[in-house]
A and B are shown apart, each in its own frame.
Chain A
């Protein structure tokens, strides 16, 4: 159970990170707004509370690993990595620009702190399986976290990976699904319904938790519980709002891959108290 002070600190951190996400997307005039904002609270809880990692030593062999399977939320990841100190905050201004290490989708070869390359949906959970199994063979105790989108679970490979994670009893793996209910063509329910997601993961042999994906206390409690589960992986279904934090972006599929305009940015920053 986190103290109220810790919760407030993390909430404030998330708010600040929202500002960084919006600014970098606006400068780049390219990138994914909605899904970055919906996942930032989960990422804050991971990078600034739960995960064992060392910005001064990105290659630390015993670090917890993070797989951003929904790779298009890269701005959220980059904001966290910069804030944590993996690279200068200044770099965020170069998102998606030719020559920048901050690629449109995470690139482990270019950006310090990025553990694997992602971007093509559906592949990250398999990577997470492999990373988690590598720990087992090497006798290491690091944990692996993978963040997917709810649209992303339409990809069959996710279910291959889910089957394998359970079969191989990969209990140092915790997957989080950012369930914001929207994808590019509209509501997930209407494009290709994935419900009921919880029962699906249960049927695949996973331990399943459901949380409000914007409630830091609930998120951290779930991450802690996942660590105690033995013999099976854990899936945390995080109910989120696409575009969360900026009222005129919230619940809109249209801001999936669209960055904020200058006017939208200034209105958003005003709302976030960073005008």
Chain B
């Protein structure tokens, strides 16, 4: 059993380490630092931590101002508030001027759980990737998060990092050699390819194991970067397998599934099954139950694989 780590925990620790190396990192939070784990940085470097209170719009604006003043600001809150409430501030004050702000949004997707639909961001990938100058990262596990946060610091420009609430299995057990824009093939395969992000990549590996017992050889391509999309890896997977299943803890509209369809429709028309929320909001429940309810389990991925294979053969 691989180690279970919450990506937000990896983030909190990574920030402290990076804060020691980079004296110009600043961190802002909107009264959720206990949950986003920026509280660790706040304790270590109080002079570089700025509480914004429950005022996300001002938080993003302040982050932009700090960046314009030469700092590398990390602004954190729940994804629904980061991408949603402060969307225009991200658009106008961060993306449009291409300021070096890192928006690390935790508690994305339905695994937020009991807080319910108002707190479950199922549209944040779609809206963030529509912004020019925005890089969108969605790491699978603890190690990839640690690497992605470092990559974000070293990258000059706006970055949105999507993290989750719950502990997730470690996929990059041998360490993670992360590069922005580079997909990671987690499993070779020739019959179909799961193209996944975030916690769905671990789910896809489980689904691939189930399919293997049925004699179906599934590739798993994990996109830790949604924007810029690793077009070459995606087209290669489409050409070599002829069938794609996308999966994300997000709506099937406009997120990873949408991005993949955009690329394939132009570059290599291929049958695609999109797994995700079917244009519905989330609701209260525990994370496990919600994953089942919204069709985000390995069993659902196996069904999607069987559907796409039928279309491939047709």
Residues of chain A whose beta carbon lies under 8 Å from any beta carbon of chain B: 61, 65, 107-109, 115-120, 122-135, 137-138, 156-157, 160-161, 163-164, 167-168
Whether the pair B68, A129 counts as a contact (CB closer than 8 A) is no
Report B-chain residues with C-beta under 8 Å of the C-beta of A125. Answer: 61
Among candidates A116, A123, A135, A168, residue contacting B50 with C-beta atoms closer than 8 Å: A168
Q: List, sorted by A's number, 11 A–B pairs whose CB atoms are closer than 8 Å.
A: A107-B97, A116-B68, A118-B92, A122-B57, A123-B89, A124-B61, A127-B93, A129-B58, A131-B68, A163-B58, A164-B55
| A127-B88 contact, Cβ under 8 Å, with A117-B93, A133-B69 | no
**B71 touching A116 by the CB < 8 A rule?**
no
Once the chains bind, are B58 and A157 in contact (CB under 8 Å)?
yes
* Cβ B65 vs Cβ A137 within 8 A: no
Q: Mark B88-109, 1 if CB is under 8 A from A, else 0.
A: 1100110011100000000000
Q: Of all chain A residues, which has the CB nearest B45?
A: A137
A138 touches B57 (CB 8 A): no
Bound Cα distance A36, B306 (Å): 64
Across the interface, do A133 and B47 meet the contact criterion of CB distance under 8 Å? Answer: no
- Is B175 positioned at the interface, with any CB of A under 8 Å from its CB? no
Assess whether B96 is in contact with A117, with CB atoms less than 8 Å apart.
yes
Contacts of B126 in A (CB 8 A): none
Binary flags per residue of B37-60, CB closer than 8 Å to A gives 1, else 0: 000000000011011110101111
Q: When chains A and B are docked, how far (Å) is the Cα of A167 from the Cα of B61?
A: 16
Residues of A within 8 A of B267 (CB): none
Collect the chain B residues with CB atoms within 8 Å of residue A160's CB: 52-53, 55, 57-58
With contact pairs A123-B61, A160-B58, A164-B55 given, residues A130 and B69 touching in the complex (Cβ less than 8 Å): yes
Q: Does B234 contact A (CB under 8 A)?
A: no
Smallest Cβ distance from B153 to chain A, in angstroms? 16
A124 to B66 alpha-carbon distance, docked (Å) = 13
Asked if B171 is at the interface (CB within 8 A of a chain A CB), the reply is no
Given A117-B96, A127-B93, A168-B50, the answer on whether A134 and B65 have CB atoms closer than 8 Å is yes
- In contact, B97 and A161 (Cβ under 8 angstroms): no
- 9 extra interface residue pairs, beta carbon distance < 8 Å, beyond A129-B65, A138-B71: A65-B68, A123-B88, A127-B93, A130-B65, A130-B69, A134-B71, A137-B24, A138-B69, A157-B61
Kindly identify which residue among B67, B70, B97 contacts A109, using a CB–CB cutoff of 8 Å.
B97
Does A116 lie within 8 Å of B65, measured CB to CB?
A: yes
B68 near A130: Cβ-Cβ < 8 Å? yes
Q: What is the minimal beta-carbon distance from B118 to any residue of chain A, in angstroms?
A: 19
Least Cβ–Cβ distance between A195 and chain B, in angstroms: 23
Is B70 in contact with A134, judged by CB distance below 8 angstroms?
yes
State the majority secondary structure of interface residues on B: helix
Per the bound structure, the CA–CA distance linking A109 and B66 in Å amounts to 16
- Whether, in the assembled complex, B169 has its beta carbon less than 8 Å from a beta carbon of chain A, the answer is no
**A134 near B60 (CB under 8 angstroms)?**
no
Q: In which size bucket is the chain B interface?
A: 20 to 34
Say whether, besides A109-B98, A137-B48, A161 and B66 are in contact (CB < 8 Å). no
A164 adjacent to B53 (CB under 8 Å): yes
Query: How far, in whole Å, are A7 and B1 apart by their CA atoms in the complex?
Result: 77
Chain A residue nearest to B91 (CB atoms) is A120
Question: For residue B53, which residues in chain A have a CB less than 8 angstroms away from its CB?
Answer: 160, 163-164, 167
Please name all residues of chain B whose beta carbon is closer than 8 Å to the beta carbon of A135 when the two chains form the complex: 69
Residue of B24, B57, B63, B64 near A116 (CB, 8 A) is B64
User: Which of A118, A133, A138 sits near B62, CB closer than 8 Å?
Assistant: A133
Q: Chain A residues with Cβ under 8 A from B52's Cβ?
A: 160, 164
What residues of chain B lie closer than 8 Å to A138, measured between beta carbons? 24, 69-71
Contacts of B88 in A (CB 8 A): 120, 123
Residues of A within 8 A of B60 (CB): 126
Whole-angstrom distance from the CB of B75 to the nearest CB of chain A? 10
Name the 4 nearest CB pairs between A and B, nearest first: A130-B65, A126-B61, A134-B69, A160-B58
Contact of B93 among A123, A134, A137, A168 (CB under 8 A): A123
User: Interface centre among B51, B58, B64, B66, by most A CB within 10 Å?
Assistant: B58
Measured in the bound complex, the distance between the Cα atoms of B98 and A229 in whole Å is 34
A65 to B67, CA, bound (A): 13
Q: Are A108 and B97 in contact (CB under 8 A)?
A: yes
Report if B73 contacts A (CB, 8 A). Answer: yes
Is B26 at the interface (CB under 8 A from chain A)? Answer: yes
Instruction: Collect the chain A residues with CB atoms within 8 Å of residue B92's CB.
Output: 117-120, 123
What is the CA–CA distance of A51 and B53 in the complex, to the nearest angstrom?
Answer: 31
Query: Distance (Å) between the CB of A99 and the closest chain B CB?
Result: 18
Q: Which residues of A contact B57 (CB under 8 A)?
A: 122-123, 126, 156-157, 160
Distance to closest chain B CB from A172 (angstroms): 11
Q: How far is the CB of B33 from chain A (nearest CB, A)?
A: 15
In the complex, A134 Cα to B51 Cα: how many Å? 14
Would A130 and B63 be within 8 Å (CB), given that A115-B68, A137-B48, A164-B52 are in contact? Answer: yes
Measured CA separation A138–B71 after assembly (Å): 9
Instruction: Name A67's closest neighbour in chain B (CB-CB).
Output: B65
Which B residues are in CB contact (< 8 Å) with A167? Answer: 51, 53
Closest to B101 in A: A130
B64 A133 Cβ-Cβ under 8 A: no
Q: How far is the CB of A66 from chain B (nearest CB, A)?
A: 12
- The reply to whether B73 and A130 contact each other, CB–CB distance below 8 Å, is yes
Proximity bits, B64-87, A CB within 8 Å = 1, else 0: 111111110100000000000000
